[in-house]
A and B are shown apart, each in its own frame.
Chain A
């Protein structure tokens, strides 16, 4: 391993961390604005022009707030849990190509931290580990509502891992690789080559499961708003809670990238147009996360389980079998 490779990787990691930390903050701003507009409100308006500096104000507030470790919590786990969520969210970004490769001063840059052969599997696995942050945080909180919420989170995450895995299995069978770059190159021929045309069921299933994996509104049971408290995060304050938040929003961005790369052609042939198209696709999926939050009600946990095990999982299995049969004959 030579020095240049090491430096390049570290720079890429730092850049991705910085961009997506900032995007997670801006994501909260967009969420508040979009939700406000859809509800005929204005949203944040006071800090900065059109409330743009609200993100900075929130950041200052989170950083300077007192870090409370309540009595009776399991302190080491309580302190460590938010780190798991934020860290796994960013670790998942390692195998995601955010931009086609480009050349700067005669040096070719691959905007992916590690193009491993198991890219997609790695992304899914690391995102699944993110569950431990929520679960351990809730369990260590010495609060029964946090505990209930954490248990519900674990149940939902584990259930929907099945749907995510099975729904991605069919595209993986077609492409024959787990690398997201291979996925992208398979669909590089244009819109007609997109996997969404051959795998519409998998696309819908993965999209639905993405809502459960990120804990967004139709399936927002990880921090059930109806219980008034904030689920597993009830006892958290300041930047520890902020880390959960950054993790959630970073996850939304990364899962949007995965959907766009796997099903909608990613950055296409690698030109600038393709790269901008990728940004547009990701923006749409992120907007859709906010859109559904304004439009749809939450479902009950038992309905969510019913949907997962009795509808989505059988559909995913049938999809895999049909795909296999079509490929065989």
Chain B
């Protein structure tokens, strides 16, 4: 139990100190002294040096977005993806209708029928991304991991009809054959490079 002692220190850094704040001067002479002190303290030049230093260091943090993109976490909930079965290449969706039922913004719609082999077949499946709030319930409720969320967040379009294109969401068959279908890592998956980003929590609970 001695190990817990190190977490009882609630300061992130040992360098914290209380700032010494003087009382405001009340008489004219005190105010004059404060003005003179502030004038010749050179604090303005500290500010100038700080920004010049950053300019010289040239440590640019800009991400030039259309050309460069930040890595996105596996848990990110962007445009849906419809997966295929690895072995046969057919769609994973079994038409159970759970996603349609649970969708709180009513944007999933599917039509099913019994095909010639007496199996349930999905004849129409659409997600209106213009209405979708990307809550993730559909992916969570899917028993087959057929509908998941992907990382494709650029879904601006000129036409609303583009927001319901099932073909865009379904893994293309050639990508599947090339083994490029991204498997859903599951809820609670860890973002890449997460270890480097972990910081000590300021408060130990």
A contact residues vs B (CB 8 Å cutoff) = 34, 36-42, 45, 291-292, 294-296, 311
Q: Closest CB of chain A to B136's CB: distance in Å?
A: 34
A residues near B59, Cβ cutoff 8 Å:
40
Interface membership of chain B positions 38-74, coded 1 if the CB is closer than 8 angstroms to chain A and 0 otherwise: 0000001001101110110011111010000000000
Complex: A311 Cα to B38 Cα, angstroms:
13
Tell me how many residue pairs across A and B have CB atoms closer than 8 Å. 39
Q: Are B44 and A40 in contact (CB under 8 A)?
A: no
A residues near B52, Cβ cutoff 8 Å:
38, 291
Complex: A39 Cα to B44 Cα, angstroms:
17
| Residue of A with least CB distance to B39 | A311
Complex: A311 Cα to B40 Cα, angstroms:
14
Interface size on B, residues (CB 8 A): 15
Q: Closest CB of chain B to A85's CB: distance in Å?
A: 29
Using A295-B47, A296-B44 as known contacts, say yes or no to A38 and B55 having CB atoms under 8 A apart: yes
Q: Closest CB of chain A to B48's CB: distance in Å?
A: 5
Complex: A42 Cα to B58 Cα, angstroms:
9
Q: Are A41 and B62 in contact (CB under 8 A)?
A: yes
A residues near B58, Cβ cutoff 8 Å:
37
Q: Closest CB of chain B to A200's CB: distance in Å?
A: 14
A-B contact pairs, 14 of them (CB 8 A): A37-B54, A37-B55, A37-B60, A38-B55, A39-B54, A40-B54, A40-B60, A41-B61, A42-B60, A45-B62, A291-B48, A294-B51, A295-B47, A295-B50
B residues near A45, Cβ cutoff 8 Å:
62, 64
Complex: A42 Cα to B60 Cα, angstroms:
7
A residues near B47, Cβ cutoff 8 Å:
295-296
- Closest 5 pairs (CB-CB, A-B): A38-B51, A295-B47, A42-B62, A294-B51, A37-B55
| Residue of B with least CB distance to A291 | B48
Q: Closest CB of chain B to A36's CB: distance in Å?
A: 8
Complex: A38 Cα to B59 Cα, angstroms:
10
Complex: A253 Cα to B64 Cα, angstroms:
32
B residues near A34, Cβ cutoff 8 Å:
55
Q: Closest CB of chain B to A69's CB: distance in Å?
A: 33
B residues near A41, Cβ cutoff 8 Å:
60-62
Complex: A274 Cα to B47 Cα, angstroms:
32
| Residue of A with least CB distance to B66 | A46
Q: Closest CB of chain B to A286's CB: distance in Å?
A: 15
Q: Are A38 and B60 in contact (CB under 8 A)?
A: no
Complex: A296 Cα to B49 Cα, angstroms:
11
B residues near A37, Cβ cutoff 8 Å:
54-55, 58, 60
Complex: A41 Cα to B60 Cα, angstroms:
5
Complex: A148 Cα to B185 Cα, angstroms:
59
Most buried by A among B35, B48, B58: B48
| Residue of A with least CB distance to B57 | A40
| Residue of B with least CB distance to A288 | B48
Complex: A39 Cα to B55 Cα, angstroms:
8
Interface membership of chain B positions 61-98, coded 1 if the CB is closer than 8 angstroms to chain A and 0 otherwise: 11010000000000000000000000000000000000
